[in-house]
Amino acid sequence: MSQRFDAVVVGAGQAGPALAERLGKSGRKVAVIERKLVGGTCVNTGCIPTKAMVASAYVAQLGRRSESYGVSTGEVGVDMEAIWKRTQGISGHSRSNVEKWLAGMPNVSLLRGHAAFESSRTLRVGDTLIEGGEIFLNVGGRAVIPDFPGIDSVPYLTNTGILELRELPRHLVIVGGSYIGLEFGQMFRRFGAEVSIVERSDRLLPKEDPDVSAAVVDILQREGIGLHLAAECIELHGKAGDISITAKCASPRMEVHGTHVLLAVGRRPNTDALGLDKAGVAINEHGYITVDDQCRTNVEGIWALGECNGRGAFTHTAYNDYEIVAANLLDGEPRRISDRILAYALFIDPPLGRIGLTEREALNQGHDVRVGVRPMSRVGRAIERGETQGFMKVVVDGRSEQLLGAAILGVNGDEAIHSLLDVMYAKARYQTVTHAVHIHPTVAELLPTVLQGLGTVK
């Protein structure tokens, strides 16, 4: 059997549904093909379930600290089954909203199954051939499974499997000390598990500035999380409930025993079983689909959006890819990926809000770097909240007087950072912020002060 559509969207993740709606409204007959759960990673196994669990972990931690606020809660108990149910409820609600949204879109049909190219205009889904005038790939990614010795015999978790745990692991060992590793690590520690993080680099969050990494280490160590850095040549040994992880090339040789292992060493794109060679669509050496500044692949009539194009690894960047494609194709507005400023948050507690360049990147790029820093222990709002860990740091170019980047590791840092991000988008001078009057008492009210104290960096 074969069916013809004006437009075919493969993957109902963060870009696909919104794009399908716009295409359908333009009068095109549209197919959305999804092989698993609509909503993709973010809704089902990523942002939404993890942030729901981070919220439970925050409450547990606050309960333990309650007496310091003059409040008695009694001993804190954590019910993993109840946390699982709450998390599944939030994630499931979000998924069903996307399902209803898709079902109500004019001219859009949702087809279930794995899609793979047969030619540059044809995809196979089971026994059906789907022909598309325009094809939009939003296939996302999945966890990297490294080829560690022992990986085939020792049971391990990824971000997917760990969400299914209904009992607390006694000792969770996490390989990878970046976004996924740190968010899960802190949350399981707060649930009551022993947690060890094993990271190949000599510091956590190796892409951040060293002062950010050091402050994050301090936050995690105070909560009793074990850190094993510079862990090279990892091997897994043992069986379910009794696992050891060794880093043979670490000096001295490192070994840590646990009951469960989470692999959090990065993501890879879902492009390997997509038949891209049959369509002639080019990929890079890591399997990401090569696109131009407006998400077009090398094959006319085929676009790639979201994580699979390697130009962003976040929900907001995937959604922005949809906005870029829709603007160019449907609105005659030449929006571009390169107009986007890097922005993300790490949702440990306190969170890290990050935008633009790090201090190190700014120096490497030859900017006349000026930096303003303030510890959260000197931020009124943080003191009143009893949450004074971390610091804020803003990086400015002394010649253009524009903001280059910022990091706010501290309470509300994930929100406060946006006031700087918007000034960067406006391409305004940093004095826009120093002259602004911010609300008291907030974290953002100190940003003008930080910028008034800019210093030169060698």
Interface with ligand FAD, residue 32, by CB under 6 A: no
Cα torsion for 88, 186, 409, 53, to the nearest 10°? 10
Site residues for ligand NAD, 229-248, by CB under 6 A, read: 231, 234
Instruction: Judge whether 440 counts as a catalytic residue.
Output: yes
Backbone φ/ψ region at 401: left (φ over 0), alpha (ψ -120 to 50), beta: left
* Contact status, residue 136 vs residue 24, Cβ threshold 8 Å: no
Q: How far is the CB of 149 from ligand FAD (least distance, A)?
A: 25
Which residue from 62, 149, 68, 138 is spatially nearest to 304, judged by alpha carbons?
138
Interface with ligand FAD, residue 41, by CB under 6 A: yes
Q: How far is the CB of 235 from ligand FAD (least distance, A)?
A: 25
**31 contacts: CB under 8 Å, gap ≥ 6:** 3, 5, 7, 8, 9, 108, 109, 110, 111, 130, 132
Q: How far is the CB of 347 from ligand NAD (least distance, A)?
A: 5
- Binding string, 95-114, against ligand FAD, x = CB under 6 A? -------------------x
Where are the alpha helices (H) located in 178-267, listed in sequence order? 179-191, 210-222
Interface with ligand FAD, residue 50, by CB under 6 A: yes
Which residue from 320, 322, 368, 315 is spatially nearest to 341, judged by alpha carbons?
320
Interface with ligand NAD, residue 396, by CB under 6 A: no
* Contact status, residue 306 vs residue 318, Cβ threshold 8 Å: yes
Q: Which stretch binds ligand NAD (CB under 6 A): 178-186, 209-217, 354-362, 373-381?
A: 178-186
User: Of these partners, ligand FAD, ligand NAD, none, which one is at the site of residue 177 (CB under 5 to 8 Å by kind)?
Assistant: ligand NAD
* Contact status, residue 413 vs residue 344, Cβ threshold 8 Å: no
Q: Which stretch binds ligand FAD (CB under 6 A): 28-36, 325-333, 375-383, 421-429?
A: 28-36
At position 283, the amino acid (one-letter code) is I
Site residues for ligand FAD, 123-162, by CB under 6 A, read: 138-141, 159
Output the furthest CA–CA distance in the chain (Å, rounded). 69
Residue 51 annotated as binding? yes
Q: Which stretch binds ligand NAD (CB under 6 A): 236-244, 262-270, 433-441, 444-452?
A: 262-270
Cβ neighbours around 124 below 10 Å, total: 18
| Residue from 113, 146, 161, 301 in contact with ligand NAD (CB under 6 A) | 146
Backbone φ/ψ region at 236: left (φ over 0), alpha (ψ -120 to 50), beta: beta
Q: CB-wise, 23 or 407, nearer to ligand NAD? A: 407
Compute how many residues bind ligand NAD; rule: CB under 6 A. 26
Mark 38-47 as b/e (b = at least 16 C-beta within 10 Å). bbbbbbbbbb
Q: Which stretch binds ligand FAD (CB under 6 A): 18-26, 38-46, 233-241, 276-284?
A: 38-46
Which residues belong to the annotated binding site for FAD? 51
Q: Provide the binding-site residues for ligand FAD, judged by CB under 6 A.
A: 10-15, 33-36, 40-42, 46-47, 50-51, 114-115, 138-141, 159, 180, 270, 274, 306-307, 313-316, 318, 347
Residue positions annotated with a catalytic role:
440
